[in-house]
Amino acid sequence: MWIKICGITRTKDAIIASMCGADAVGFVFAESSRRVNPNVVREIVRNMPGGPVRVGVFVDEEIEKVKEIIGYCSLDFAQLHGDESPEYCDELGGLAIKAIRLDGHLTPDIINSYRCPVMIDARLDRGDLSSLDIKGFIEGLNEKRIIIAGGLNPENVAEVISKLRPFGVDVSSGVESSPGKKDPILVGDFIKRARIAEYEVMKSGT
C-alpha cells in the first residue's frame, strides 16, 4: 500500500510523515491554502530524512515550469490536477501521476488513455462510500496503479482499502489540525489503520 501525506508546508510535518512510515509526501504549487513556493520546498526536502518520495502538485502549469520545479526541489513525481492530456503526462517521462475527479463524465476509457498512474479524487467526504460504485468502476480499468484520494481520514481509510483494493491512498486535510499543519496523532493513526487494512486484505487472499 502506497501511502501519501499531501499538503506538506513545514519541515517538521515532512519528518513526522517519514517517521510514521509514509511512502510519499506532497507539496502543493497550485493555488491553495496549502500552497508553498519552491524555495520552501527545496529547504524542506534538504532537511527531511530519506525514504518518502517527493511529489509536487500542479494544476495546468506549463510543462517546462513543472520540469524546472522538479529539478530545483529534487522531486520524484508531478501530480497533475488540471486538464493535462495523456501526451502532456508522457512528456514528463514517467514522472507523472494524473489526478482525475470521479464524476458522471468520467469513464474507464478516459483513465485508460493515460499510461501513468492515476489518482481518482472520489470526494468521499461528500458521500457514503457504500453509495459510490467506485469498485465496479476500478474493475473496468486496464492494469494500472490506482490511487484513491478525496475526503480520506483515519476513520474511513480502512474501509476504502478493504472495499476498493487500490494501489495507494492519499490524504491531506483528513490529518490536519488546520490547513497546512499536520496533526502527528492523526498522521500516525491514518498510516497505522491503512497498514492494518492492507495486511487484512493480504491475509484474506482476495
Grid cell in block for residue 176: 490536519
Q: What total of structural domains would you count in the chain?
A: 1
Give the dihedral sign, CA 206/79/74/176. negative
Residue 196 has pLDDT above 60, yes or no: yes
Beta strand residue intervals within the chain, DSSP E: 2-5, 24-28, 53-58, 77-80, 96-101, 118-121, 146-149, 168-171, 176-178, 181-182
Please give the share of the chain, as a percent, with pLDDT higher than 90.
73
Whether 121 sits among the annotated catalytic residues: the reply is: yes
Confidence of residue 22 (pLDDT cuts 50, 70, 90): very high
The one catalytic residue among 109, 121, 128, 170: 121
Q: Say which residue the cell 491503512 belongs to.
A: 194
Beta strand residue intervals within 95-175, DSSP E: 96-101, 118-121, 146-149, 168-171
For residue 32, which of 67, 76, 82, 69 has the smallest C-alpha distance?
82
Whether 170 sits among the annotated catalytic residues: the reply is: no
Kindly state the average pLDDT of the residues 137-165. Answer: 86
Q: Which domain holds residue 38?
A: 2-204
Mean pLDDT for the chain overall: 91
Kindly state the average pLDDT of the residues 127-135. Answer: 59
Residue 126: predicted pLDDT: 62
Residue 205 has pLDDT above 90, yes or no: no
Confidence of residue 203 (pLDDT cuts 50, 70, 90): confident
pTM, 2 dp: 0.93
The CATH number of whichever domain residue 76 belongs to comes to: 3.20.20.70
Q: What pLDDT digit, counting tens, does each position of 63-106 carry?
A: 999 999 999 999 999 999 999 999 999 999 999 999 998 877 78
Euclidean distance between CA atoms 176 and 174, whole angstroms: 6
Residue 185: predicted pLDDT: 98
| Inter-residue contact 46 to 73 (CB < 8 Å) | no
Residue 25 has pLDDT above 80, yes or no: yes
Residue 206: predicted pLDDT: 59
Grid cell in block for residue 127: 458521500
